[in-house]
């Protein structure tokens, strides 16, 4: 263990955070905090220390049914979809204001629960959630249909138009890597479109979603419009996605669970959007500024301890610059201060759970056994927290599990290439297709390569740049449907054609 990996103690939680963590486990259903129908809880751990710090409800089938019933009634009686769109916009904006007011508190809770540094939760996750709500609030008043002249009848025979109507009750299931931001990214477009919903956060990280429920109540949303139910995926999540009164499922999580959900939704042909895993390539051409590109490549894989679906986990560097670039990335990796989430100088926190750390260490081991060399990291600091050091693997080949499978940790694999055709082929040699980044000053090569990459998002000269106005989603086994922007709103609407003989 070197100096960099000596883990400091987790600073004390604020009084306020302690108060929130001491609350009795409860569910937010029909505008109220209610007890579960059974007596099962899920422990909440601080990944920086491995200590249990709270509990949340492990919802029963009856709890899930109750939440769906509340959302169903709230949708069917029009208390939300029937409001003036401007009233919906105002409430969504009000929620954004309340979240902004409580940024520090929410950031602390998110960091305690997930392990991410407060610089990330307070500087990115919570502000992004606020921006998403404000952007989506604006859509509430701008969802529009079309008037169309039928092609097969004399003009003026019909008045034909197309309406966009809210789908109904949405079941929204989110993962643990950006718990609050993902929860808000799910509820914002659904609310703007006029849907009601049941949100299920990940069992590892439910604390901030429960605070979100407090703010929803404070903002004054009508009862039953937003219901938040904590619980395990295989039980509460499964009940939710199979529920006949759910019209739409929006899921972010692993490809494996995405497939299960898609199958479960088939019986009632629910509308489904899936944001799943990735194994995104970072392609570096020989003309780049080495230092800047190395810093970008490191950010792309080490931010959020690599627990990012759009992490740049497969680096492809042109043979002429491979050694220099990798040396610079390794140097950069050494500067990532690994530490507990609440320490102000932490750049990389622990992984979310002991299972996740084991999984990542197991992948590193598989890589080593298959012949990969470790250029940086490859080890985990001691202590009780779930830390893994920033890791770079070279001498890898496309058959290795570290290259093929999503590790969801701070592990970069790096390969050489000789020409653009070969690198496009290698980059596309994956079951995933979420994102890619391309680094070059040659704009023509950038565009040519962007056209060849089979992924839902391509970024140039930047590690990642998701934005609430730009479609977010993947090709192939990275899912289907898109979040954000117009696409994100339309995903919560049905299209109705009305044709009236005049
Ligand atoms: P996961 O699929 O295990 O869990 C995600 C959510 O699904 C959790 O809330 C869980 O409780 C629930 N769930 C689990 N089994 C379920 C079931 N049978 N029915 C219904 N719900 C169920 O994923 P994870 O390990 O929490 O998150 C990591 C994965 O999420 C990674 O693969 C990552 O790439 C992906 N992810 C994708 C995006 C994206 O936008 N594409 C964003 C973040 C994370």
- CB of 66 within 6 A of ligand 1: the answer is no
Residue 173 Cα to ligand 1 middle (Å)? 8
Residue 252 Cα to ligand 1 middle (Å)? 5
Q: pLDDT tens for residues 389-425?
A: 999 999 999 999 999 999 999 999 999 999 999 999 9
Q: How confident is the model at residue 4 (pLDDT cuts 50, 70, 90)?
A: very low
Q: Write out the H or E segment, with its range, that includes residue 160.
A: strand 158-166
- CB of 483 within 6 A of ligand 1: the answer is no
Q: pLDDT tens for residues 161-211?
A: 999 999 999 999 999 999 999 999 999 999 999 999 999 999 999 999 999
- CB of 276 within 6 A of ligand 1: the answer is yes
Residue matched to tokens 């966009």:
164
Look at residue 383 and tell me whether its pLDDT is greater than 90: no
| CA angle in degrees (0–180, nearest 5) for 435-438-441 | 155
Q: pLDDT tens for residues 130-158?
A: 999 999 999 999 999 999 999 999 999 99
**HSE (side-chain half, CA atoms, 13 Å) at 471:** 16
| CA angle in degrees (0–180, nearest 5) for 176-471-102 | 45
Examine the residue annotation and report whether 275 is marked as an active-site residue of this protein: yes
Ligand 1 atom with the smallest distance to the CA of 258 is 2
Q: What is the pLDDT of residue 1?
A: 39
Residue 150 Cα to ligand 1 middle (Å)? 44
- Pocket-testing residue among 184, 241, 254, ligand 1, by greatest number of atoms within 8 A of Cβ: 254
Residue 479 Cα to ligand 1 middle (Å)? 12
Please identify which of the residues 89, 203, 275, 406 carries the catalytic annotation: 275
Examine the residue annotation and report whether 24 is marked as an active-site residue of this protein: no
- CB of 432 within 6 A of ligand 1: the answer is no
Ligand 1 atom with the smallest distance to the CA of 256 is 2
Ligand 1 atom with the smallest distance to the CA of 240 is 20
Percent of the chain surpassing pLDDT 70:
99
| SS3 label, residue 91 | helix
Residues 176/178/179/185 CA torsion (nearest 10 deg): -130
Euclidean distance between the first and the last CA atom of the chain, given in angstroms as a whole number: 81
Q: How confident is the model at residue 114 (pLDDT cuts 50, 70, 90)?
A: very high
Ligand 1 atom with the smallest distance to the CA of 278 is 34
Parallel, antiparallel or unpaired: strands 271-275 and 411-417: unpaired
Ligand 1 atom with the smallest distance to the CA of 255 is 32
- Pocket-testing residue among 175, 483, 491, ligand 1, by greatest number of atoms within 8 A of Cβ: 175
Look at residue 3 and tell me whether its pLDDT is greater than 80: no
- CB of 274 within 6 A of ligand 1: the answer is no
For ligand 1, atom 8, the nearest C-alpha belongs to 202
Give pTM, 2 decimals: 0.97
Q: What is the pLDDT of residue 5?
A: 56
- CB of 257 within 6 A of ligand 1: the answer is yes
CA separation (Å) from 85 to 82, 90, 194, 417? 8, 9, 8, 53
For ligand 1, atom 16, the nearest C-alpha belongs to 233
């Amino acid at each position: 263990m070197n100096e960099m990996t000596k883990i400091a103690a987790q600073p004390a939680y604020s009084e306020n955070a302690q108060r929130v963590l001491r609350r009795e486990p409860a569910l937010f259903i029909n505008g109220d905090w209610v007890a579960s129908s059974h007596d099962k809880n899920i422990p909440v751990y601080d990944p920086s220390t491995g200590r249990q710090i709270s509990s949340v409800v492990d919802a029963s089938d009856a709890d899930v049914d109750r939440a769906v019933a509340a959302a169903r009634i709230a949708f069917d009686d029009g208390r939300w979809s029937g409001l003036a769109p401007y009233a919906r916009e105002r409430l969504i904006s009000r929620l954004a204001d309340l979240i902004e007011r409580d940024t520090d508190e929410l950031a602390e809770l998110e960091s305690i629960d997930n392990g991410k540094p407060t610089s990330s939760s307070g500087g990115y996750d919570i502000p992004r959630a606020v921006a998403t709500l404000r952007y989506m609030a604006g859509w509430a008043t701008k969802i529009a249909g079309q008037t169309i002249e039928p092609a097969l009848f004399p003009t003026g025979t019909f008045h034909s138009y197309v309406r966009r109507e809210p789908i109904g009750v949405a079941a929204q299931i989110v993962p643990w890597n950006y718990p609050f931001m993902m929860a808000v990214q799910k509820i914002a477009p659904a609310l703007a479109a006029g849907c009601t919903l049941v949100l299920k956060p990940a069992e590892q990280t439910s604390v901030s979603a429960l605070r979100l429920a407090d703010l929803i109540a404070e903002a004054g949303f009508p009862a039953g419009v937003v219901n938040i139910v904590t619980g395990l995926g295989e039980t509460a999540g499964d009940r939710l996605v199979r529920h006949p009164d759910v019209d739409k499922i929006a899921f972010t999580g692993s490809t494996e669970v995405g497939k299960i959900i898609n199958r479960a939704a088939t019986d009632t042909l629910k509308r489904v959007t899936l944001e799943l895993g990735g194994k995104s390539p970072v392609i570096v051409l020989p003309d780049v500024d080495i230092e800047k590109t190395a810093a970008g490549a490191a950010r792309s894989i080490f931010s959020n301890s690599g627990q990012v679906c759009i992490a740049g986990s497969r680096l492809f560097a042109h043979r002429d610059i491979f050694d220099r670039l990798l040396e610079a990335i390794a140097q950069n990796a050494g500067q990532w201060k690994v530490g507990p989430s609440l320490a102000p100088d932490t750049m990389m926190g622990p992984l979310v759970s002991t299972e996740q750390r084991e999984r990542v260490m197991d992948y590193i081991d598989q890589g080593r056994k298959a012949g990969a060399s470790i250029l940086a990291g490859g080890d985990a600091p001691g202590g009780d927290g779930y830390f893994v050091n920033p890791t770079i693997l070279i001498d890898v080949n496309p058959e290795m599990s570290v290259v093929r499978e999503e590790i969801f940790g701070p592990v970069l694999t790096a390969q050489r290439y000789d020409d653009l055709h070969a690198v496009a082929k290698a980059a596309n040699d994956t079951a995933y297709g979420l994102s890619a980044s391309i680094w070059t000053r040659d704009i023509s090569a950038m565009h040519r390569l962007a056209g060849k990459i089979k992924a839902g998002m391509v970024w140039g000269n930047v590690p990642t740049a998701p934005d609430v106005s730009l479609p977010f989603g993947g090709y192939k086994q990275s899912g289907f449907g898109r979040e954000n922007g117009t696409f994100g709103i339309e995903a919560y609407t049905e299209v109705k054609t009305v044709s009236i003989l005049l």
